[in-house]
Structure 1
């Protein structure tokens, strides 16, 4: 039992450490690079218009993946494709670091799912 707990603890530490290593980017640079995002997603990443996703507090790697998918066309949204077209991989890491560092105000999905009224 003691060995199992030790292995589980070690695994948890490794998982946390690897997540931190993968979640790269500069929050400060990300805030500057995200300036064009603020019109729709809000300066604090908590968009008030439900048609725009709230980005504050989202997982860093999820945000990176979504931005890369908009950039390469896996996600079909002409507005977002245009917004990310000039972003480098470092820019994407920085923007994701910024938005993931912010506190979210999303406590429920009500009114935040497309088609909800």
Structure 2
């Protein structure tokens, strides 16, 4: 299991009124996110260039609800503070997330209907 202690806690979490029993669910969502990132080989560790600060990151957390208001799941995403980067200096390529499976199915369904 990934160690979430070395990653910053999002300030947004601190402003939520989460009962003590719910805090461990947010921590579990963070650990799940780190494990998924590691399993997908999302990044490669490289030596830090001299005289450069690493780009920071933060946690973005969300509590998803069912339509009746009950909690569906706790979600956590680790995001880079990309606003501190300079194009051509800090990065050459950008990452674009993939479409959801349901979106691709809907697209293919419409294409099949319209021939």
> TM-score normalised by the shorter chain: which range applies?
0.3 to 0.5
Q: Which has the higher contact order (CA 8 A, sep 6+)?
A: 1
Task: Identify, as 1 or 2, the structure richer in helix.
Answer: 1
TM-score by length of 2: 0.33
Structure showing greater Rg: 2
